[in-house]
Structure 1
Amino acid sequence: MTTSLLVWGLSLGGSRAHAASASTTASTTAATATATALGNGSVTDSNISYVGRWDVSSGTAAVPNWTGGYLQTAFTGTTVKVKARDAVNFYASVDGGADVFYAGVRGTVSLTPQPLPQGNHTLRISYRSGDTVFQGLVLDSGAGTTTPQVPSKLIEFVGDSITAGALTDRLALDSYGWKTGEQLGMRHTQIARSGYCLVGKDGCTGLATQFFKIGSTGDQNWDFSRYQASAVVINLGTNDIGHGVTGAEFQTAYTNLLRDIRAKYPNAALFALQTLKKRYVTETKAAVSARTGAGDARVTYVDTTGWLTDGTDYEDGNGHPNESGHTKFANRLAPVISAKLAAATPGAATKAGAAGKAAAAAPGDPGDPNIKFYGRWDTRSSATAYTPYWAGAYFRTGFTGRTVKLKQRNAIDLWASIDGGPATFFDEAKGTVNLTPTPLSAGNHTLQVNYQVVAGSYHGDAVFQGLTLDSGATTFTPSTPKKLIEFVGDSITVGTTTSQNARTAYGWLIGERLGADHTQIAQGGAALVDTADDRMSLEQQFTKLNPNAATPDWDFSRYQANAVVINLGTNDVGRGVTSAQFQAAYSSLLRKVRAAYPNAWIFALETFRGRFVPETQAAVTAAVNSGDAKVSFVDTTGWLAADELSDSVHPNDKGHRTITDRLAPIISAKLG
Structure 2
Amino acid sequence: MRSIPHSIRRLFALVMTASLCALGLSLGVTSTARAAALGNGSVTDPNIVYTGRWDLGSAGAAVPNWTGGYLQTAFTGTTVKVKAREAVNFYASVDGGPDVFYAGVKGTVTLTPQPLPQGTHTLRVSYRSGDTVFQGLVLDAGAGTVAPRVPSGLIEFVGDSITAGALTDRLALDSYGWKTGERLGMLHTQIARSGYCLVGKDGCTGLATQFFKTASTGDQNWDFSRYQASAVVINLGTNDIGHGVTGPEFQSAYTGLLRDIRATYPNAALFAVQTLKKRYVTETKAAVSARNAAGDAKVTYVDTTGWLTDGTDYEDGNGHPNEAGHTKFADRLAPIIAAKLGTAPLKAAPGQPGDPNIRFTGRWDTKSSATAYTPYWAGAYVRTGFTGRTVKLKQRNAIDLWASIDGGPATFYDEARGTVNLTPAPLAAGNHTLQVNYQVVAGSYHGDAVFQGLALDSGATTFAPPGPKNLIEFVGDSITVGTTTSQNARTAYGWLIGERLGADHTQIAQGGAALVDTADDRMSLEQQFTKLNPNAATPDWDFSRYQASAVVINLGTNDVGRGVTPAQFQASYASLLRKVRTAYPNAWIFALRTFSGRFGAETKAAVTASGDTRASYVDTTGWLAADDLSDSVHPNDKGHRTIADRLAPVISERLSGLPHVSRHDPR
Following the alignment from structure 1 to structure 2, what is the Cα–Cα distance between the partners of residues 603 and 562? 11
2:95 equivalent to 1:114? no
Question: What residue in structure 2 maps to residue 636 of structure 1?
Answer: 620
Output the aligned Cα RMSD: 3.8
Task: Specify every segment of 5 or more residues in structure 2 that has no aligned partner in the other structure, as ranges.
Answer: 1-33, 51-68, 96-107, 124-143, 154-338, 657-667
CA deviations over 1:373-398 (Å, ceiling 9, x no partner) = 00000000000110000000001011
CA shift, 1:145, in A, is 5.7
Looking at structure 2, the residues matched to 543 and 71 of structure 1 have their Cα atoms a distance apart, in angstroms, of 44
3-state DSSP of counterpart to 2:85: coil
Given candidates 445, 448, 459, the residue that maps to 1:461 is 448
Relative to structure 1, the CA distance from residue 456 to residue 447 in structure 2 (aligned partners, 3 Å threshold; closer, same or farther) is farther
Residue 669 of structure 1 aligns to which amino acid in structure 2? E
Distance 2:606 2:37 in 1: 41
Q: Does 1:391 align with 2:413?
A: no
Equivalence for 1:605: 592
1:500 has 2:487 as partner: yes
C-alpha displacement of 1:573 = 0.4
Counterparts in 2 of 1:437 and 1:91: CA distance versus 1, 3 Å: same
- Deviation, structure 1 residue 399: 0.7
CA gap of 1:69–1:550, structure 2 versus 1, over 3 A, is: farther
Which string of whole-angstrom CA distances, capped at 9 and with x for unpartnered residues, describes residues 16-60 of structure 1? xxxxxxxxxxxxxxxxxxxxxxxxxxxxxxxxxxxxxxxxxxxxx
Corresponding residue for residue 412 of structure 1: 399
Aligned CA distance change for structure 1 residues 648 and 99 (closer, same or farther; 3 Å): closer
Measured after TM superposition, the shift of residue 183 of structure 1 is 5.6
Query: Cα deviation per residue 1:248-303 (whole Å; 9 max; x = unaligned)?
Result: xxxxxxxxxxxxxxxxxxxxxxxxxxxxxxxxxxxxxxxxxxxxxxxxxxxxxxxx
SS of the residue corresponding to residue 449 of structure 1 reads strand
The one-letter code sitting in structure 2 at the alignment partner of 1:602 is: I
The reply to whether residue 594 of structure 1 matches residue 565 of structure 2 is no
- Normalising by structure 1, what TM-score? 0.52
Structure 2 residue identity aligned to 1:97: L
Q: Which residue of 2 aligns with 1:356?
A: 345
1:565-615 CA distance string (max 9 Å, x none): 000000000000011111110010000000000000000000000011111
Q: CA deviation at 1:438?
A: 1.3
Give the counterpart letter for 1:144 in structure 2. Answer: Q
Partner of 1:405, secondary structure, is strand
Q: Work out whether 1:651 is the aligned partner of 2:621.
A: no
Q: Is the 8 A contact 1:607 1:636 kept in 2?
A: yes
* Alignment-derived partner of residue 570 in structure 1: 557
- Alignment partner, residue 240 of structure 2: none
State yes or no: 1:533 paired with 2:504.
Answer: no
Are residues 436 and 546 of structure 1, via their aligned partners in 2, closer, same or farther at CA, if it must alter by over 3 Å? same
- Sort the Cα spacing of 1:600 and 1:577 in 2 relative to 1 into closer, same or farther, 3 A: same
Equivalent in the alignment of 2:365 = 378
Residue 468 and residue 67 in structure 1: after superposition, are their counterparts in 2 closer, same or farther (change >3 A)?
A: same
Q: Cα offset for 1:96?
A: 6.0
* 1:662 matched residue in structure 2: 646
- Greater fraction of residues in helix: 1
Query: d(CA) in 1 for partners of 2:526 and 2:519?
Result: 14
Counterpart in the other structure of 1:144: 114
Name the CA shift for 1:432/1:615 in 2 (closer, same or farther; >3 Å).
same
Is contact 1:409–1:430 with CA below 8 Å preserved after alignment?
A: yes
Identity of aligned residues (%): 73
C-alpha contact 2:629 2:635 (8 A) present in aligned 1: yes
Q: Could you list the per-position Cα deviations for residues 82-133 of structure 1 after superposition, in whole angstroms to 9, with x for gaps in the alignment?
A: xxxxxxx99567996276999xxx9x99652537855652469xxxxxxxxx
CA shift for structure 1 position 149? 8.6
SS in 1 for 2:345: helix
Which residues of 2 match residues 233-272 of structure 1 at below 5 A? none
Q: Secondary structure at the match of 1:462?
A: coil
Instruction: Give the equivalent residue in structure 1 for 2:601.
Output: 614
Q: Which residue number corresponds to residue 534 of structure 2?
A: 547
1:391 and 1:457 in contact (8 A); partners too: no
Instruction: Find the aligned partners of 1:496 and 1:101 in 2 and give their Cα distance.
Output: 46
1:553 and 1:100 map into 2 onto residues whose CA distance is 36
The structure having more radius of gyration, on CA atoms, is: 2
Query: Structure 1 pair 399/101, CA: closer, same or farther in 2 (3 Å)?
Result: closer
How far the C-alpha of 1:423 sits from its partner, in A, is 2.6
Q: How does 1:158-307 map to 2 (within 5 A)?
A: 182=150
| 1:365 to 1:579, Cα distance in 2 relative to 1, 3 A | same
1:146: Cα distance to partner?
Answer: 7.4
Please, what TM-score do these two structures have when normalized by structure 2? 0.52
Match of 2:575, SS state, is helix
Aligned partners of 2:74, 2:584: CA distance in 1, in Å?
39
Distance 1:369 1:142, change over 3 A: closer
Question: Within the alignment, does 1:366 sit opposite 2:353 as a pair?
Answer: yes
Distance 1:632 1:437 in 2: 47
In the TM superposition, 1:303-452 aligns within 5 A as 356-357=345-346, 359=347, 361-452=348-439
